[in-house]
Amino acid sequence: MVIPEEEKLTVDEFLKAIAGHDGRFELVRGVAYAMAGAKEGHNVICSNVQTALVPAGKRKGCRTTSSDTAVQTGQDTVRYPDVVVDRGPANATALTASRPTIVVEVSSSGTAVFDYVAKLREYQGVESIDTVLQIESEIALVKVHRRQENGTWTEETVEEFNMDIHLPSLAVSITLNEIYDTLDVRPRRRLQVVKNEDTSGM
């Protein structure tokens, strides 16, 4: 489907259109799309991550905000990560993060594929972003994407609850225990293979 140019919005038009609107939207290549509502587990994870990152962010002169802070990932694309760490100049009236450094997306079964592909590429294209955390809300799993000094990105999958996830730009670590605190979220189920004992000698 090709959307006529005259029906597309600029970033400024989009931000003005959603001001005071009850629903939540993202701008993708000039088109505003509604965002699905979140379950309680999703919201608890966002709150836990903020609680863990806010003190470290303050020590570094950063602000850690929730999903109401926009990140412009392209000329006509605006995303709303679940958590944003912004190290740009403080501006109480800003509608977008001026220098996002860490973004967090909490996924569910309905959004994981899209978040892991489209949004990840967009975030990696933002020069100031050095870390992207993709957190599953229904199983204990976090994918950590880090920008290296040469500009390439590495990916790490964390499933152990006590393993430190290092966030160098904030000089802090976070664990799955903190991320999933108060939630009954379990690791991915693994296949248990029962091998028959060799009875050939009997």
Predicted TM-score (pTM) of this structure: 0.87
State how far the Cα of 105 lies from the Cα of 112, in Å rounded to an integer. 9
Please report whether residue 153 resides in a domain. Answer: yes
Please report whether residue 128 resides in a domain. Answer: yes
Residue range 47-88, pLDDT digits in tens: 999 999 999 999 999 999 887 889 999 999 999 999 999 999
Q: Return the percent helix, strand and coil in the chain, to nearest 5.
A: 25, 30, 45
Please report whether residue 199 resides in a domain. Answer: no
Query: What is the domain range of residue 122?
Result: 39-179
Please report whether residue 197 resides in a domain. Answer: no
Token pair of 134, please? 């993709």
Mean pLDDT of 15-24: 83
Token pair of 50, please? 């903020």
**Number of domains within the chain:** 1
Distances (CA, A) of 152 to 7, 127, 131, 156: 36, 12, 12, 14
CATH of the domain at 168: 3.90.1570.10
Q: How confident is the model at residue 112 (pLDDT cuts 50, 70, 90)?
A: low
Q: Which residues contact 111 (CB under 8 A, 6 or more apart)?
A: 36
State how far the Cα of 138 lies from the Cα of 160, in Å rounded to an integer. 15
Residue 1, pLDDT > 50, answer: no
Residue 23, pLDDT > 50, answer: yes
Residue 30, pLDDT > 80, answer: yes
Look over the chain and give the mean of its residue pLDDT values, rounded to a whole number: 88
Please report whether residue 74 resides in a domain. Answer: yes
Please report whether residue 123 resides in a domain. Answer: yes
Please report whether residue 25 resides in a domain. Answer: no
Please report whether residue 101 resides in a domain. Answer: yes
